[in-house]
Structure 1
Amino acid sequence: MSEKFLKVNIQKELKEFELDIDFKLNKGCLGILGPSGCGKSMTLKSIAGIVNPDTGIISLKMDEENIYFDSEKKINLKPQKRNVGYLFQNYALFPNMTVEENIGIGVSKEKREKTVSEMIKRFHLEGLEKRYPRQLSGGQQQRVALARILAYGPDVILLDEPFSAMDTFLKEQLRIELVNSLKDFDGFSVLVTHDRDEAFQFCDELIILDKGKIIAKGETHEIFENPKKLDVARLTGCKNTSRIEIIDDYHLKSLDWGLTLEVSEKISPNITHIGIRAHDFAPAKKDEVNSFDTENSSLLEMPFEWEITLANGLWWKREKQIREHEFVVPDHIKVDPKNTILLEE
């Protein structure tokens, strides 16, 4: 079987920075994770043809390579020619069209009735065919928008922070629905988000973007487990980071926490910080490796976890049951050397 890919290598001068994106996706879903205003949505719009890069190339190969944009060859396909589906944050349904009309809008007359019927069943929209968008819930609107995209058989689906404006309950429900909806999709999908949980749940591969530049890319699980860079650790949710002083190959002093810690990986000279994820502490005895006291810590109860802030600034998150309302902070806690993260600035 010939190689399939979505290749994007583009540059665009923006007001505050230059967008410089370079990746090649060979399968599944790519996540682009980063703070607001870092160039995530601009990347999607460039792939879709809504925005023109200054230089670079965007191409897709399914059966044969199709060049969407090439600044040197002066190729720039219109959005309608790119076979790309774009799921906007607000779903962009036509308010004066019914569910079935919205789904069938991009399908030829010969195939429309059959395709719409298939999509209605696939996305569990039976009974809603004659309703208008204003008569639908957020979840139903999302399913209609996805059905409309998939009805005309795109090669690429672009998802632009599809859950950003939703409350927590609806967000969790729609995440599951979207994962299931994309299971049978044979093309490529790119999800833009500032939510690390979404990136982890959806994406086979991940790009971390900051001020228009890629600061990390690779398999999603690998980036979360071994972020390597301080900014990447923070963007993937590492709450505890400290400057360090190297003692020897496997020991360091954390300058911000006042602790001497053992690590499992040899410390190279370019390591400047240590990270510990908030869930990676455990109760300990005084003399255990990487054990320290919890004197003068503060305790905050959340529905499903305790948040313990230690006097030295470390943050510990401990899971709890909803009916559990008492927790005695142990005198000492520890972090396993293998759960420490060595980081470069």
Structure 2
Amino acid sequence: MSDKLLKINIQKKLKEFDLDIDFKLKKGRLGILGPSGCGKSMTLKSIAGIVTPDNGAISLITKEETIYFDSNKKINLKPQSRNVGYLFQNYALFPNMTVEENIAIGLSKDYNEKSLSEMIKRFHLDGLEKRYPRQLSGGQQQRVALARILAYGPDVILLDEPFSAMDAFLKEQLRIELVNSLKDFDGFSILVTHDRDEAFQFCDELLILDKGKIIAKGDTHEVFENPKKVQVARLTGCKNISKIEVIDEHHLKSLDWGLIFEVSEKISPNITHIGIRAHDFSPAEKDDVNAIDTENSTKLEMPFEWEITLANGLWWKIDKQIHEHEFVIPKYLKIDPKNIILLEE
């Protein structure tokens, strides 16, 4: 895997904004996270050859370089020449073909029965070979679609919001199945999503898009832990974000909540906001550093957590057991200075 590289540098004028994407992928699984209509799917379609960018280049380096698209060299390979597998939201299975017929399409014309039965076994489809897509569950359909894609040995697999139309239970199940299915895949896979949990669970690396531009990229855990920008913090699920006024190098005033906080990191001149994750508060004494009075707070019970809204608008989430229905809000909460995220606009 170390000698492989996927290079994407594309520009395309769209109605709402200009798409301008430039990144290289060296490791297996990349997530592209962003709100609806930010250019995520357009990026995938450009890689697949379904859409042609105005300018730029897309290439894959394995032992040698394969250029998918290059506007200067006038190269634009057809989708079927790119060896890219595209998993559509609806899986695009052939409705009049059985499971084994759908998978066999991905195999070479002179495939043998052994390689077909290996794919069926690998994706836990034994006993379903003669069924048609309409007779399968959503999870089974996804496995057939993935088996068909992997059967022809693609270099790149593109996953375009594959769970967007599913209920929460099925979504969780299929996310785990997808991660397991792609464990042994030696190529690149790119998942487009607006769901932060999906991105966190599936991806080694993460790109965050906003209006056609990359606003963050890097190791997935690092992007979540240190978002750096307000929009990145929002997209990675930070519930509490406030404008600030700087007091000194380690103290600031939150303008939205009217509180003064101590922070562990030195406040640089470009910091305009702070973020506090809703799970990062803990019960406190009045004189603790960053203690917050909880008077006039409201609480909302969820199956597995309490959601507490403080009078100043701060939001605290705390885990609970399904059978617990009583909770006394402590008189004070605190936030550790190191858990206050410093953010640029």
> In the superposition, relative to structure 1, how do residues 110 and 75 fare at CA in structure 2: closer, same or farther (>3 Å)?
same
1:106 shift after superposition:
2.7
1:116 shift after superposition:
1.6
SS, match of residue 241 in structure 2: strand
1:113 shift after superposition:
2.4
Aligned position for 1:102: 102
Which amino acid is the alignment partner of residue 40 of structure 2?
Answer: K
Cα distance in 1 between the residues matched to 2:27 and 2:60: 12
SS, match of residue 109 in structure 1: coil
Cα distance in 1 between the residues matched to 2:115 and 2:80: 19
Aligned position for 2:234: 234
Note the alpha carbon deviations across 1:254-312, whole angstroms, 9 max, x for none. 01001100111000011000000000000001100001110000000000000000000
Cα distance in 2 between the residues matched to 1:203 and 1:283: 34
How many percent of aligned residue pairs carry the same amino acid?
84
Contact 1:229 1:343 in 2 (8 A): yes
SS, match of residue 101 in structure 1: helix
SS, match of residue 12 in structure 1: strand
Cα distance in 2 between the residues matched to 1:148 and 1:134: 17
Is 1:24 the counterpart of 2:24? The answer is yes
1:63 shift after superposition:
1.6
**Unmatched runs of 5 consecutive residues or more in structure 2:** none
> In the superposition, relative to structure 1, how do residues 312 and 96 fare at CA in structure 2: closer, same or farther (>3 Å)?
same
Contact 1:293 1:331 in 2 (8 A): yes
TM-score (norm 2): 0.99
Aligned position for 1:278: 278
CA RMSD, aligned part only? 0.9
**Unmatched runs of 5 consecutive residues or more in structure 1:** none
Aligned position for 2:203: 203
- Large movers: runs of 4+ above 3 Å: none
Contact 1:104 1:112 in 2 (8 A): no
Which amino acid is the alignment partner of residue 129 of structure 2?
Answer: E
Aligned position for 1:148: 148
TM-score (norm 1): 0.99
Cα distance in 1 between the residues matched to 2:263 and 2:237: 20
Aligned position for 1:83: 83
Cα distance in 2 between the residues matched to 1:200 and 1:133: 30
1:115 shift after superposition:
2.4
1:2 shift after superposition:
6.6
Aligned position for 1:124: 124
Aligned position for 2:251: 251
Contact 1:271 1:342 in 2 (8 A): yes
Cα distance in 2 between the residues matched to 1:64 and 1:296: 65
Note the alpha carbon deviations across 1:4-61, whole angstroms, 9 max, x for none. 1111000000111110011100011110000000000000000000000000000001
Cα distance in 2 between the residues matched to 1:66 and 1:115: 27
Cα distance in 2 between the residues matched to 1:2 and 1:116: 30
Contact 2:208 2:215 in 1 (8 A): yes
> In the superposition, relative to structure 1, how do residues 2 and 240 fare at CA in structure 2: closer, same or farther (>3 Å)?
closer
Aligned position for 1:188: 188
SS, match of residue 114 in structure 1: helix
Cα distance in 2 between the residues matched to 1:191 and 1:82: 18
For this pair of structures, how many residues does the alignment match? 345
